[in-house]
Amino acid sequence: MSKEYKRRRFIVLIPLVILFAAGVFVRSMRILIPNTAALVYDFNGEINFDDTVGVYHGMTYKIPDEAYKLASNNKVLGVANPDEKWVEVDLSEQKLKAWDGNTLFLESLVSTGLPWWPTPTGEFRIWIKVRATKMEGGSGRYYYYLPNVPYVMFFENEKIARYRGFSLHGTYWHSDFGKVHSHGCVNLPTPIAEQLYYWTTPVLPEGKTTVYASPENIGTRIIIHD
């Protein structure tokens, strides 16, 4: 076997070895990283005023007042029939648009999932809205513990089950919207999340901090795409 032949065979094998190693790495990461957005402790929607500090990727954050404040007017009226409301999330632009029929209700930059914790694409429905909840997930340097996450709208479809914990919600641990940051959820500026929370369905009963969707009070449609 000539040296030239050996050299060519070695050159051919290099990409194959790299691809194999990459495949092993990806599979190992899938094992190490839970394929869920967050562990949610409860759905009662109540704010815990005693839990005032969050942890995200090794940094601590004091929860700001806007996460606790009560809305002065939670009646957000739309132009269209509630069934015509829908929310669009564009992953490539890191942008959310809320549509009221053919009218744009609001538009905002968002932060969706990091490459190893992607935000799912497809058509979803909000199945529950909660005023606040505690979320925890990740591990090691990517661990997070976030009490009183404000204005949370959980969504699901036939492929993405409820226990996966994906949602739209307000964010107090960063303000770098327009770039990916999350473990799969759609991070919103808290004032935007507040508007969406009261604008989307299911309609929140007066004085309540949580509401489940039902056939009589269906959740708003959410479309997430690249």
Whichever domain contains 59, its CATH number is: 2.40.440.10
As a whole number of angstroms, the distance between CA 76 and CA 124 comes to 22
Query: Do residue 26 and residue 102 come from a single domain?
Result: no
| Whole-number Cα distances in Å, 186 to 14, 109, 111, 121 | 39, 10, 6, 12
Structural domain that includes position 48: 38-225
Query: Do residue 57 and residue 22 come from a single domain?
Result: no
Query: Do residue 109 and residue 42 come from a single domain?
Result: yes
Q: Is the dihedral of CA 164, 168, 173, 177 positive or negative?
A: positive
| Percent of the chain with pLDDT strictly greater than 90 | 59
What does pTM read for this prediction?
0.80
How confident is the model at residue 83, as a pLDDT?
Answer: 79
Query: Do residue 177 and residue 220 come from a single domain?
Result: yes
Query: Do residue 26 and residue 75 come from a single domain?
Result: no
Q: Which neighbouring-strand residues pair with 99?
A: 86, 104
Residues 100, 78 contacting (CB under 8 angstroms):
yes
Count of domains observed in the chain = 2
pLDDT digits (tens, 9 = 90+) for 186-205: 999 999 999 999 999 999 99
Query: Do residue 108 and residue 21 come from a single domain?
Result: no
Query: Do residue 171 and residue 217 come from a single domain?
Result: yes
Query: Do residue 12 and residue 124 come from a single domain?
Result: no
Nearest Cα to 129, choosing from 197, 76, 83?
A: 197
Pick the more confident residue, 72 or 143: 143
Query: Do residue 186 and residue 219 come from a single domain?
Result: yes
Query: Do residue 4 and residue 80 come from a single domain?
Result: no
Query: Do residue 81 and residue 173 come from a single domain?
Result: yes
pLDDT at residue 75 above 80?
no
Lowest model confidence (mean pLDDT) among 34-43, 113-122, 189-198: 34-43
b vs e for 67-79, b when ≥16 Cβ sit within 10 Å of the residue's Cβ? beeeeeeeeeebe
Q: Is the dihedral of CA 18, 20, 23, 27 positive or negative?
A: negative
Query: Do residue 50 and residue 17 come from a single domain?
Result: no
